[in-house]
Chain A
Amino acid sequence: MRVDASPTQEHACLTRSLTPVKTVALDPEHDVEITVGDQALVALRRFRRSKALANFDWVEALYKTYLTGIAGIAVVLVLSAAARDDRLGPAAVADVKADGPAWVGVVLALAIAAGLRSGGRGGPLALEAAEVRHALLAPVDRGRALRAPAVRFLRFSLFLGVVGGAIAGQVAFRRLPGDEIGWVAVGVAVGVLIVLSFAGAAMVASGRRLSHLWVDLAAIAVLGWALSDALRGATTSPMTVAGGIAVWPLDLDARDLLGVVPLLALPVLGITGLAGVSIEAAERRSGLVGQLRFAVTLQDVRTAVLLRRQLTQEGARRRPWFRVGGLEGRGDARFPTWRRDWQGFARWPLSRLARLGILGTGAGLCLAGVWAGTSALIVPAGLLVWLAGLDAIEPMAQEIDHPSLLQSYPEEPGVVRIRHLAVPLLAMMPVGLAGCAAALVFGEPILVLQIGLPTVAAAALGGVCGAAVSVVRGAAKPGALEQMSPEAAGSVKLVAAAIPPLLATLGVAPVLVARLIVDRDGPPAQGVLAGCAFPLAAGLMAVVYLRMRERARTWWTRQLEVSMSGSSIRDTARREAEAIVDARVEARAATKGSRRRGPARTEAPTADTTIHETTGER
């Protein structure tokens, strides 16, 4: 028996009709028509779009476009300038032609593996919570309901792929023979393939509800296959075949398109299987992704890290990898932060360890590229080290997450923060060693030892310091920059956001400095040592910031208040002083006039004296 609420309270049974019913305008102004089920969904989306367009602030959008455009042009110019290195010789070009497809295949495999893992946790779509509750719980075809968000996601992914690919094509053109348009076109094609592989694999895994175990196994298999091709110099996987497109300006082979077919099949398969998406996962993601976007908007890196962990269901291990001794020892009492940090690391999940290994490997490969002559690769290397640092700095971040605990310790917060740097620095060493191992693929072992090992320590310092500054800085405070003009405030925010990754990038600078010195016929060891000045400077700046942050902020706030409103404070003080003088003069006159008790014991201060006392000036 079916019931519905009706004005007459007579609950007549409604029979569901599959035939379209008469259309009714949802909003007469927008003339949107609705029939049943799926059509209602389509009509609602159209209605919301038209409503959003009606409320759209074109001036604001144009301003944002203007800012984004300027920032984008600046990035491209900087990268292009940084990539303006010498062209590769014939031998190196031959190496790129021979090995390039396999390594691009590894990147494609990484995208597929990441997509599978994302899909295993309900990704990649992030729906509105209301969409999950009202639309996906309604008797409509879920596949059709999810198609529009999936297409939107693919569209955005394609945009990222095109932009990233174009930049990569530009960088390749600077060093390799061939025309610019060819390299940019090839870069765009590969960028698009990468994002489509990610999105497609994720949709396949979520639509088919593959278990964590299966997606992990599939991810390992795909990655292993591509890596095996790269290391053996073979061409067996479709990723390696498709990777051949990346060197088309050097060696055009139409057979490479055969590798593209299975990669393009992934998003098609994904979209057709969307109906199977788990609503539980969709609902969980809807809440978390909303918060994640908000955190990113506020540049709150720590919150973004925590939410991403929730999204990937990455929790601490119930059983630690190793036990750190009891708290009753003498040494324990002297180094509580040291012990606490190791206890935290002992509960790291395997996935986090694996991620750090991958980040280290990526950074190592980028630095191998820097050593080989592509200076621009120092930027992604620095970013990867910073990301690794954000995981390594977890114990300190936990302190920041619990400010009441931090304030309750009988130590200054700055001191506690600095004590939390030691263990993360050590924990970053294996990450750097993973990078060295990856660099061995391209470099001579002696050189890797000479350049790589000192860089491991430097990168650990840069990564940890950059991450620590990010975490301690926290979210941008609304209103903190309100006294500045919008342009100035925007620039300050941009610089503040760029400083932590910059510190991490300084950590990998020794490789670039060493290469520049070797280019001038200097010894590599001397170059690395000279380059270590950058991470040391970064470390010093970070330590000062972590130690003195509260004092510096207090001082700055006071200076700002005095400079911005000093005149008004002085005016207020003058008025108060004059009022006091008037009151005392009146009181003295009244005393003299009425009771004739003799002269007052103290003289009223002059207006000038009172002003200085009130404002604290001496």
Chain B
Amino acid sequence: MSWADFGSGALRAALPVAIWGCGAAIYAASKRDGRALASARWSALLALVLVVLAVLAMEGALVSHDFTIQYVAENNARATPLFFTVISLWAALAGSILLWTLVLAGATAYVAWRGTRELPRLGTTALAVLLGMVSFFLLLVTTPAADPFVRIDPPLDGNGPNPLLQNHPLMALHPPLLYLGYVLFSVPFAYAIASLVLGEGGDRWLVATRRFALVSWGLLGVGIVAGSWWSYAVLGWGGYWAWDPVENAAIMPWLVATAYLHSVMVEEKRRLLRSWNLSLVIATFALTILGTFLTRSGVVNSVHSFTQSAIGPLLLGYLVVILVLSVGLLLWRLPMLSDRGGVGAPLSREAIFLFQNVVFVAATLTVLLGTLYPIIAEAISGQQLSIGRPYFDRVEVPLALALLFLMGIGPQLPWHGAPRATLERQFTVPIVAAAGGALVAVLAGINGAFAVLTYALAAFVAATVVQEFARGMRARQVLHGEGRATALANLLRRSGRRYGGYIVHLGIVVIAVAVATSQAGTVQLEKTISTGQSAQVGPYTVTLTALRDATEPQRDLLVADLSVTGNGANEQLHPALVFYPNSTQAVGSPGIAAGARDDIYTILAAYDSRAHAWATIRVLVIPLVSWLWLGGLVVGIGAVIAALPQPKRRTVAERVAPLAVGTSAK
């Protein structure tokens, strides 16, 4: 049996299993039938097993270079290294959809086994929704639109993956992280729908899926940063974010999910904003589907430039069904979800969260409008226009600064508000820190009002976070007699949600500073120099030592050897133009020296093809850009801390005992 038979057979078997499971779950939930539930559970598990088999079949086909499968012939070649062969599972459309199906089937199986036991009726209804989604995606991968196992007359050798996709090991991380983030959000969505269908006015759906939402948000966020890093390291233009439609497609659900994570706290604490939270979950999920649609349908031209395929209409249909059903359900149940009472005083945590939500939603709507506007304009007037960085930067930067500000004051304000005197006490140090931050920016020569304001707000937020940690640690030291390190560790363990969240805020602050500095302070030079000559870029001297040909197993290169000195640097960089056998155009490969202060980014733009006597190089000195990746890591760490299950509370007796013995408070 060939890989194609095995894989496509597994997928085609999984489809009826998923459909059966969906029906069984619906029956189980409505009739409270235990046997139907068991049937649904086993269907979910079986569907997962079959999808795993299909994925293994595809990997087997890739690794064994089985070119009878079209996907393998298009995305793999005999000379492709093993690492890139394995990760080319998600190199193109059909494989990506297969990966999506795998993650979705995994999440569904988890809900089938844990969720239906924790909250039987809600969980079973949610399972029905999830199995419905799994059925749709299985339908996609068994139709010609996205079937990964389509067979062809085997060519002698495959095309190999897109040159851009075999340049960097980050390709192993970015798509899976992004997909995990996207797909795991299906679970809160499914529970939200279940809650609406069952007419539960309460918050159980929200509490049950809190951790899923947080994990999904964290993975999506880190996935976006990984994509940014890949773009920076591979695409060779020196930037990390271009407001490309596909980048926008990923950040929109993340923005709304961030709003959701915060307003969830308002619902938990005050039982308010229930219909708003449901709307946010629906919007986040719809945006993940919209994002996939924009990326895959070929409707917008972008860096990812997938070819147009028949999957577009199918995804659009799916999106429409989802929107109609979920919005319809929400509007139907709206009367039972209305809030009792107002949110509260303007200077209270819940009010700040509300304002923050408004800003996030406005930011998302802007990105959506900017991405879709060219399509709208062309459909209406036939006129072709572009909306790019100038628009997005100008609108989003002020919104981001507003968010930074709210991030500083929100955690400091108590629920239900606080009197003026308390606020003064709490905010004195952070505001002074803000002044310090602004001063640092000016002294460091950072240009531009927005950048200086970013530094001020960053210092503000950082100070509030440090203040919170200090207060928490002091409280533990006094109450439990813990040493400083133990107090910190316990804060993170026992109040992980809160202090992990603060660490996430710190990560965002680092990213904000990195973005502001790199945007405001980049020094750029483009010059044609001969071999042996130097050019001066900022404090660095770049010398072209040689221009040479190089050959690697599956590609030819034209490399410029550059020596960079000055300002304490001593680097050898090798920007190159890479020629792949099946591609007419060369792909630029940048030479980057990453540093704690500056990144030195070099690009080989043009060269003397005759005598290798001169080259046109582009050098960018980008300050603090490495802090971006560091900030992403901090956000990830914070999310992990926040998501970890809390240790069980000790009983009152256990907690009181050490105090009774009379430890000295430190």
Decide whether A and B assemble into one complex.
Answer: no
Interface residues of A (CB under 8 A from B): none
Interface residues of B (CB under 8 A from A): none
